[in-house]
Amino acid sequence: MAQMVCGSCRRLLSYPRGARHVKCSCCQTINLVLEADQVGQVKCGSCAVLLMYPYGASQVRCCSCQFVTKIEEHNKRPPWSVLQLQGKHTPPKSVT
C-alpha cells in the first residue's frame, strides 16, 4: 500500500501501489498518482511552500495561497537523453 494527500480536500489517502488514479472517499476527487521520477518540486513564489508538479508543467498553483508559480528553465526536468548519459536514473516504467 502507498499513501498520498488528496489534491482537493487534503485528506490522506491509501491506495495499492501501481495505481494510476485514486478516488478520494471524502470529496470524490480523482487524483493522479505520480511516481517519484515523474514529479518536480519548486517553492511557491509567494509563500515559499514546497510545491510538487508533474514534469512538463509550465506553472503550478499553490494550494495554500493560490499563487501561480511559473516553472522556469532552471527547475525543469532535463531531457531523458541527458539523464541516461549521466547514468543516474533508471528507464521509465512501461505502461501496460
pLDDT one-digit tens code per residue, 11-31: 999 999 889 999 999 999 999
Same domain, 24 and 1: yes
Alpha helices in 1-96 (DSSP H): 80-86
Averaged pLDDT, 31-52: 83
pLDDT value at residue 96: 42
- Quote the CA–CA distance of 84 and 90 in Å, as a whole number: 8
Taking residue 67's Cβ as centre, other Cβ atoms within 10 Å add up to 14
Instruction: Measure Cα distances from 10 to 5, 35, 46, 60, 78 in Å.
Output: 5, 19, 20, 17, 30
Asked whether residue 43 is assigned to any structural domain, the reply reads yes
Q: Is 42 helix (H, G, I), strand (E, B) or coil?
A: strand
pTM of the model: 0.50
Indicate whether 81 belongs to any domain.
no
**The domain containing residue 46 runs over which residues?**
36-72
- What is the CB-side half-sphere exposure of residue 96 using CA atoms within 13 A? 2
At residue 80, the pLDDT reads 53
Same-domain status, 3 and 28: yes
pLDDT of residue 47: 93
